[in-house]
Amino acid sequence: MGEYSRHKTSALGKFDDARFRTIDVRNVKRGVATVGNVEDVRAWSGIPFHFWKASKAVGFASEAWQLNLARVRLQRYAWNIWQLLCFRGLGGFQYSNWFLDLAEGQITDQMKSMEVISFNQHFPRASRILGLGGRISYFIDAPFVSLVEGYGLTKRLPRRVIGNAIALEKANYAAADRVITMARWAADVLLNQYGIPPSRVHIVLPGANLTLAAGWEFPKLSGRAGKERDFVLGFVGNNWRRKGLPFVVSVRDCLASRGWRVRVLVIGNAPTELRQNNGIDFAGHLDKRNKSETFNELLASCDMGCLFSDHEALGVSILEFLRCGVPVLGFAHEGMADTLPPDAGFRFTIMDSPEVISEQLETYLRDEAMQFRFRANAQRWSPLLTWERCVDELIELWTTGSVARPVRPWLGLPSSAT
């Protein structure tokens, strides 16, 4: 966003930097890369897939990298066995030169010699792309050092592997045209811990990883929530512990103890004891390849979408709820601070207890006008949270070096959407 990408412009309004002057955004072949098959909606939560589809439609990035991870499965086993025999610890094959050589070897030199937008911090290596005459930008949710600290990787990966992975990531960013983060906190890490010049760090909010069918209409929920019908708190996620499902259930229990009818709808994963909880409706994992409409309908049936993660790079599920016109609530912490709009939900601190949150929700349940306003605003947010909008911002970034009016949920709806 603008605060991380201030540059001088020429009289014609073009970005005044020699690296970008020759780029014709609409007529350059660009590839989209991730650790996996970009054309598979299951790869990395569907983020590369949805980006590629939206980019291809407008001619921004049409070439999908197809990395077959099954082809390196035996090598992964062999690498881990060798590491154990050498007393080097278990895990980290994905960050090894062996894996990267094998992975990059699956991609043609023609694909590697064009401009690449990668959704992975380590793959492909920038040195390999530049060595073939290509160029690369990275579009990441979080720097690797933050994933190590916040996601417990120090317990799963040897220290040597972590050190090498961070060094490779820094080398990739140093050689990249630009590094785009999905949230402000990640950009701060790149600036303060990685020392990347502000001119090459940008922030662009991604879209929601779902597609609404043609003619989609937001459902109208009838009856007074919490009294005449259940007040439904939605939860999406396979990593139920980190994303705070027990916390959501505690909020539900607090409200129920105050006499409100409340249920939690869970899409993803949950332990047996929570699946059998009378206050939970467990939908399980829904494959977006063939259950996308069911997924969207379940989201839209909720009164509020919840995300109370201890650590969260962004909070894609918040964007998904808002895309379906559902208000949200959660901890305004790390990436979630950028996805929770104050005019369509509640922003809590990570120190707030279930009791504090249930008190706020009880006030909300007593105020039908507020409920109507939040849901109306969530529906106004919906068209702003698409991958098409994200790609438009990236095209502007590629063309001018900055985004003049980026979508920023934490500031509330822009005047044009109200």
Secondary structure class of 357 (helix, strand, coil): helix
DSSP 213: P
Q: Which amino acid is at 384?
A: L
Side-chain half-sphere exposure of 224, counting CA atoms within 13 A:
10
CATH for 231-384? 3.40.50.2000
Alpha-carbon span 83 to 91, nearest angstrom: 8
- Answer yes or no: are the C-beta atoms of 410 and 342 closer than 8 Å: yes
Q: Where are the domains positioned within the chain? A: 2-207+386-417, 231-384
Secondary structure class of 216 (helix, strand, coil): coil
231-237 β-sheet, strand order: 280-284, 262-268, 231-237, 304-307, 328-331, 345-348
Residue with the two structure tokens 């010699």 = 113
In this structure, is the dihedral angle defined by the CA atoms of residues 15, 19, 21 and 25, taken in order, positive or negative?
A: negative
- For 145: left if phi > 0, alpha if psi spans -120 to 50, otherwise beta; the answer is alpha
Secondary structure class of 191 (helix, strand, coil): helix
**Mind listing the pLDDT tens digit of every residue in the chain (418 residues)?**
443 443 333 222 333 344 444 446 766 889 999 999 999 999 999 999 999 999 999 999 999 999 999 999 999 999 999 988 988 888 899 999 999 999 999 999 999 999 999 999 999 999 999 999 999 999 999 999 999 877 777 777 889 999 999 999 999 999 999 999 999 999 999 999 999 999 999 999 999 999 999 999 999 989 999 999 999 999 999 999 999 999 999 999 999 999 999 999 999 999 999 999 999 999 999 998 899 999 999 999 999 999 999 999 999 999 999 999 999 999 999 999 999 999 999 999 999 999 999 999 999 999 999 999 999 999 999 999 999 999 999 999 999 999 999 999 999 999 877 6
CATH number 3.10.150 given to 2-207+386-417: no
Condensed to tens digits (0 to 9), the pLDDT of residues 206-257 reads 999 999 999 999 999 899 999 999 999 999 999 999 999 999 999 999 999 9
The 8 Å CB, 24+ separation contacts for 200-204 are 200/173, 200/176, 201/4, 201/5, 202/1, 202/4, 202/5, 202/178, 202/397, 202/402, 202/403, 203/1, 203/4, 203/406, 204/1, 204/139, 204/180, 204/390, 204/393, 204/394, 204/397, 204/403, 204/406
Do domains 2-207+386-417 and 231-384 share one topology? The answer is yes
User: What pTM did the predictor assign?
Assistant: 0.92
